[in-house]
Structure 1
Amino acid sequence: MKARHRKNMPSIWLMTDERVPSDMLLASAARLPRGQGGIVFRHYRTAPDERRALFDRVAEVAGRRRLMLLLAGSAREAAAWGADGWHGRGEGGSARPLLHSMAVHDARELRTAERAGADLIFLSPLFATRSHPGGRVLGRMGFAALAHKAGMPVVALGGVRGGHRRMLKGLGASGWAAIDGLTVGRGTG
């Protein structure tokens, strides 16, 4: 991991999702702890112009609150948009150092993230989640087995809420991320 990121790694991350209305997303971002939170801006299915406009609005909130902001996509696009990093499997290729995160769901994807030099991983799903109803979950034991093998910080994702923080440390997570668990008006905790 790049030294500049190690000491400033957020312990709480908001994952954006098209299911969440923009005003609710912005309000949720504004409630993240100042200087301690991060946002992974995804919005994969949003039209390009709308996606960029919403990213800019989220970036304004992130700047005011000193939040880390990652853009799902390429490192080159993240650098061009002014993000702190990029989330995904693609190649690096940015002129400035960016944080690189990847989603991991199993041992094969963990090895892929390690080979790609990811700075952190979002390991999921720990629990059942509304965004992927009926999907296979890792559960506590499966999550812990993968987290303890990881050579980088692990962020727990999938049905995670604020009340899980103590349990997550025991499972090997350095932080947690959520959509619904951090969305204002959807049972934040």
Structure 2
Amino acid sequence: MDARLIAWARGVKRRRPRAGGRASLPPLWFFTDETRLADPLPVIRRLPAGLCGVLFRHDSHPARERLAQAVARLCRTRRLPLIIAGDARLAAALGAGLHLRGGAAPAHRVAWRGPLSASAHDHGQLARARRAGVALVFISPVFPTASHPGAPSLGARGWRCLAARGGRIKPYALGGITGRRVSALGKACAGIGAIDAFL
């Protein structure tokens, strides 16, 4: 686990006020990735409580719902917020938050609990996320990533430009984030999402 990133997250959490007596959203989010980590449970067991949440993305896993239930149980035990990517029905069944890919509205109108997040790669997706009323948006990819080798990235300046257009949405960074790189994003960065940083 990236010790510099953990130290950065503790600093963010100290500066962030509690909303109405409730704990704010964590600054660190572990993104599950079935290609690079088929079983995310060992990593989730090691995540620092109070600093981390989990965003479940195992879309093509053969036992997806069973694994999602196991992840949800572990997150409840460890008091880690859980968000399900792109599946409002599963999010509702697990009492989890929902992640909108590209800010697109969910296909099914069901009541889920937990935070509403989105991903955004450009101004159009960010505008959709804003209209959807998300609490946080993962703007990506900031830096080159192992999962998308050779793909173009925003860079720190491009990320800051998009983040400034988010209005009240908390801007999070995703893509190639490390403890060394995160400081380049400035104080506007409310948190990050990552895979490798937690492995």
TM-score band w.r.t. shorter chain: 0.7 to 0.9
Query: What RMSD in Å do the two structures reach over aligned CA positions?
Result: 2.2
1:139 aligns with 2:145: no
1:100-139 alignment, distance < 5 Å: 100-139=116-155
1:4 to 1:86, Cα distance in 2 relative to 1, 3 A = farther
Contact 1:75-1:98 at 8 Å conserved across structures: no
What runs of 5+ residues in structure 2 fail to find an aligned partner?
Answer: 1-18
1:33-52 alignment, distance < 5 Å: 33-47=48-62, 50-52=63-65
CA distance in 2, matches of 1:5, 1:110: 29
- SS of equivalent residue, structure 1 residue 133: coil
1:45 to 1:97, Cα distance in 2 relative to 1, 3 A = closer
1:14-163 alignment, distance < 5 Å: 14-23=30-39, 25-47=40-62, 50-83=63-96, 85-88=97-100, 89-91=104-106, 93-95=109-111, 97-151=113-167, 152-163=169-180
TM-score (normalised: structure 1) = 0.83
Contact 1:107-1:146 at 8 Å conserved across structures: yes
CA distance in 2, matches of 1:30, 1:134: 32
Contact 2:95-2:113 at 8 Å conserved across structures: no
CA distance in 1, matches of 2:125, 2:22: 22
Task: Return the offset for 1:163.
Answer: 3.6
Contact 2:118-2:134 at 8 Å conserved across structures: yes
Task: Return the offset for 1:166.
Answer: 3.3
1:94 to 1:123, Cα distance in 2 relative to 1, 3 A = same
- SS of equivalent residue, structure 1 residue 146: helix
TM-score (normalised: structure 2) = 0.80
Task: Return the offset for 1:46.
Answer: 1.7
What runs of 5+ residues in structure 1 fail to find an aligned partner?
Answer: 184-189
Task: Return the offset for 1:42.
Answer: 0.6
CA distance in 2, matches of 1:14, 1:136: 22
Please, which moves more after superposition, 85-94 or 105-114? Answer: 85-94
Task: Return the offset for 1:144.
Answer: 0.5
Task: Return the offset for 1:60.
Answer: 2.4
AA aligned to 2:98 is W
